[in-house]
Amino acid sequence: MLYLRAVIYQIFLIVTVIPYALACMLWSPLPIRWRYRLTSGWPRLAIWGAKVILGIRWQVIGKENLPDKPAVVLSKHQSAWETMFFNFYLPRNVCFVYKRELNRIPFFGWGLALLNMIPIDRANRRDAFEQVVKIGQQRLNEGRWPLLFPEGTRVAPGDSIRYKQGGAVLATRCQVPVIPIAHNAGECWPRNAFIKKPGLITVSIGPLIETDGRTAAEVTREVEKWVETEARRLNPERYDNNPAA
> What average pLDDT does range 38-66 have in this prediction?
96
Query: SS3 of 179, please?
Result: strand
Task: With cut-offs at 50, 70 and 90, classify the pLDDT of residue 86.
Answer: very high
Distance from first CA to last CA of the chain, Å, rounded? Answer: 39
**What is the C-alpha to C-alpha distance for residues 84 and 43, in angstroms, rounded to an integer?**
5
pLDDT tens column, 163-172: 999 999 999 9
pLDDT value at residue 33? 87
In the Cβ-directed half-sphere of 231, how many Cα atoms lie within 13 Å? 31
Q: What is the mean pLDDT of the chain?
A: 91
**What is the C-alpha to C-alpha distance for residues 57 and 63, in angstroms, rounded to an integer?**
17
Rg (CA), the chain: 18
> What average pLDDT does range 121-141 have in this prediction?
82
Give how far Cα 188 sits from Cα of 199, 200, 203, 227, Å.
Answer: 6, 8, 13, 19
The single-letter code of the amino acid at 148 is L
Whether pLDDT at 88 is above 80? yes
Whether pLDDT at 89 is above 90? yes
pLDDT value at residue 170? 95
Q: What is the pTM of this model?
A: 0.91
Whether pLDDT at 242 is above 70? no
pLDDT value at residue 101? 78
In the Cβ-directed half-sphere of 18, how many Cα atoms lie within 13 Å? 5
pLDDT value at residue 24? 82
**What is the C-alpha to C-alpha distance for residues 139 and 108, in angstroms, rounded to an integer?**
21
pLDDT tens column, 7-49: 999 999 999 988 888 888 888 888 888 888 888 899 999 999 9
pLDDT value at residue 125? 65
The single-letter code of the amino acid at 155 is V
Domains of the chain: residue spans and CATH: 2-239 (3.40.1130)
